[in-house]
Structure 1
Amino acid sequence: MGERSTPTGGRARHGWVAALVVLLAGCTVSPPPPALAPQVSEPAYAVTVLDGDPAALATDTSTTLFASSPLAVLAAADDPAAQAEAGERATGLGVPLLLTGDPSAELDRLGATTVLPVGTGAEAWVAASGRVVTADDPDVTAPPARDVLVLTVDPTSPAAATARASGARVEAVTDPDPRIAPPPGLDPRPAHVVALGEGFGPAERLSARLDVAAGGSALPGGGQVLFPGHRMVALYGHPGVPALGVLGEQGIPESIARAQALAAEYQPVSDQPVVPAFELISTVADAGPGPDGDFSSEATVEFLRPWVDAAREAGVYVVLDLQPGRADFLTQARRYADLLTQPHVGLALDPEWRLGPDERPSQQIGAVGVEEINAVSTWLADLTRDDALPQKLLMVHQFRLSMIQGRERLDTSRDELAVLLHADGFGVPGEKLGTWAALHDGEPAGVDWGWKNFYDEDTPMFSPQQTLGVGPVPPVFVSFQ
């Protein structure tokens, strides 16, 4: 876009007409003054997050986007009507809008020799400060458009007006997380992004979120954040082995149709869109040690890929479930890195089958230290970040508190992951609800919750209404075995 300019105000034009009359009468007058020329500055960082009360935010936006300006518009911090008018004038002129209390330091930094006050509060402040006042819009050469994107949840704010005045492109967003509502114009990503207001920061996190939003990859069911916004209903099992769960009772097309039918049963009682899913056992705890001695049989990527690819095409989410035997979870997770780089693939850890050096499957309930889970969390979050993927599910099964040692230290801090505890006990309703309540006692902060229904072992199996009726919060992931 080219430069923008604002016509001279009405009274100023009359002044130039009078001067012309005098000149024609033979008097010598000075030529009209040149247009004022604000100078913009590039933000210091590729991503900048500004926050604070409206006056502080307006000042910080001016400091970030303007190097100097001989004129600034001023409105009172307690006068919304004046701020709205002042925003229009500042945007039209291409100069900063500041607010009272005391904008003196920013006016001095800008070199603002003239102030245009809007509203009685601003006029009173300027009169008390002794600064030069202009009542008309002077001739100003506004800054041209430039490669700066400004995000705000309040596009009418004084800070947003200052951003527009600087030539930046201002986009209103409905949520500070751009993965939830990606703003336009992120492909290619602008050289500089400035976010105004609460909820956007810190800058490093916003930068990673912008990478995801710019990449455009979506989850099944849409969006780039798992919860809230989705609920998943999954078939659990290993392909071709009915004894390990209902997913193994039929082939790929039939499993997709069955998962979709289950999701449809839950949609009428769900307050979130229900997405069909596969919980695909990828490493199976084995009675024998196997060639590597870890008592776990690992499916190859090539064996699992047809299921993963067909699920992607059908809008089905996939969770790769690990039963590691005497191996550790991170070693097994790394086997499936290629599949986990797909946006619709997450990971599940099953501590029941995490065995000690002298333990064997089905002879005891396994357990894992939280440090091992956190190591997987770090690896999976880094993989998700490095590939700019939508948020990824990390699910941990539990039906006894002893299965996760040090659970209170479970790391849920990584923005790239939704960490979910999955209560997979079976039995009569009272037993299941007792397990559910016990697991919630002292739950780690920031976790989501999952629930498993068993066709054969539950007596009776919970209905969709009963499953989503458990408290204190309904599960966001429901699997069927």
Structure 2
Amino acid sequence: MFPRYRLVGFCGLPGAAALGRLGTGDPAKRASEAEKVAHSYAAGREPLPVLELLAAVANATAGPDGAYRSRTPSATIRRFHHLARTQRGLLLLNIQPGRASVLDEVKALREWLVHPDVGIALDPEWEMSSGQVPGDTYGHTDGRELTKVARYLSGLVEEHDLPQKPLVFHQVAPSVVGDESALRPQPGVALIKSADGIGSPGLKRGTWRRLVSDLPDGVHTGFKLFYEEDAEGSRLMTPKEVLALRPQPEYVMYE
């Protein structure tokens, strides 16, 4: 996957505008827009458009199984998988686990992950411990748990003779991902640490420096932008400014 490609795309869930760009307007038009934005980030690489669909969404209420998350229907995932293929891109299934097991949520998506153009994105700020409620505090993961997910994906790649799969983990603050030194790259899996966080270009550069200063070996970089929140009282960073970050982001995602 790297350094041949640069991944660029949108995240969200249809009908939920607050959750990202994919939640507004016609999904087919958003997929086409993502492809155009991807080309603005090529910079010597092949642009690869990405649709990052929320497949598990954290909730403030427990729900019938007490997991504080809801799963996106298969019909919606199927629709976005088709749209990603139409753009010759990737579908990333984003997991906000609530109190559910992250690995169990990944395994629940196996029918999609056996496809060559489907990967996983994790949002550990929404990974709650017992007694925690999504939205009240930041959640947490660590290098060992991320390695378990990577190992599971690696097994699917080997079993089904698939191309390398992306595994993205978004990080909004240092506390959200602990013990990164325990993270172990796995065959057939491209690990991508995506720097999250809202703010002006200066604030986002500061967050970037903090989060990538001790990047584990074998981990690639991603960068998240917010169309509305970043522009409140400031402005959205340009592709040129994003590409000037060091190390240069290999995945750029807009919410």
* Aligned-partner Cα distance in 2 for 1:324–1:404: 15
Q: How does 1:242-253 map to 2 (within 5 A)?
A: 242-253=17-28
Q: Match of 1:262, SS?
A: helix
Q: How many residues are treated as equivalent by the alignment?
A: 252
Equivalences for 1:210-229 in 2 at 5 Å?
Answer: 226-229=1-4
Q: How far has the Cα of 1:250 moved from its partner?
A: 2.0
Contact 1:422–1:452 (Cα < 8 Å) also in 2: yes
1:398 aligned partner, one-letter code: Q
Query: Any conservation in 2 of the 1:240–1:251 contact (CA below 8 Å)?
Result: no
TM-score by length of 2: 0.96
Is the contact between residue 370 and residue 410 of structure 1 (CA under 8 Å) also seen in structure 2?
yes
Deviation by residue 1:98-133 (Cα, 9 ceiling, x = unmatched): xxxxxxxxxxxxxxxxxxxxxxxxxxxxxxxxxxxx
Q: What is residue 443 of structure 1 aligned with on the other side?
A: 215
Deviation at 1:369, TM superposition (A): 2.7
Q: Which has the higher contact order (CA 8 A, sep 6+)?
A: 2
Structure 2 counterpart of 1:461: 236
Instruction: Say which SS state the counterpart of residue 456 (structure 1) adopts.
Output: coil
Q: Which structure is larger by alpha-carbon Rg, 1 or 2? A: 1
Match for 2:67: what amino acid? D
Native 8 Å contact 2:35 2:87 kept in 1 = no
One-letter amino acid of the counterpart of residue 68, structure 2: F
Counterpart residue number, 2:177: 404
Residue 359 (str. 1) matches residue 128 (str. 2): no
1:321-332 equivalences under 5 Å are 321-332=94-105
| Alignment check: 8 A CA contact 1:301 1:336 kept | no
Match of 2:201 in 1: 429
Q: In structure 1, what is the Cα distance between the partners aligned to 2:24 and 2:105? A: 25
SS at match of 1:356: coil
Moved over 2 A (4+): 264-267, 300-303
Report the equivalent of 2:93.
Answer: 320
Measure the CA separation in 1 of the matches of 2:194 and 2:90: 16
- Amino acid corresponding to residue 194 of structure 2 in structure 1: H
Distance 1:377 1:415 in 2: 9
1:443 CA drift (Å) = 1.5
For the pair 1:289 / 2:62, whether they are aligned, the reply is yes
Cα deviation for residue 313 of structure 1 reads 2.9
Find the counterpart in structure 2 of residue 452 from structure 1. Answer: 224
Deviation digits for residues 213-238 of structure 1 (CA, Å, limit 9, x no counterpart):
xxxxxxxxxxxxx1110001111111
Q: Report how far residue 341 of structure 1 moved.
A: 0.9
CA distance in 1, matches of 2:41, 2:180: 30
2-structure distance, mates of 1:341, 1:319: 13
How far apart, in 2, do the equivalents of 1:275 and 1:303 lie? Answer: 22
Name structure 1 gaps, 5 residues minimum. Answer: 1-225
User: Which of residues 233, 244, 250 in structure 2 aligns to 1:476?
Assistant: 250
What's 1:166 paired with?
Answer: none
TM-score by length of 1: 0.51
Q: Is the 8 A contact 1:256 1:316 kept in 2?
A: no
Is 1:266 matched up with 2:41? Answer: yes
Counterparts in 2 of 1:50-61, with a 5 A limit? none
Q: 2:198 and 2:238 mapped to 1: Cα distance?
A: 14
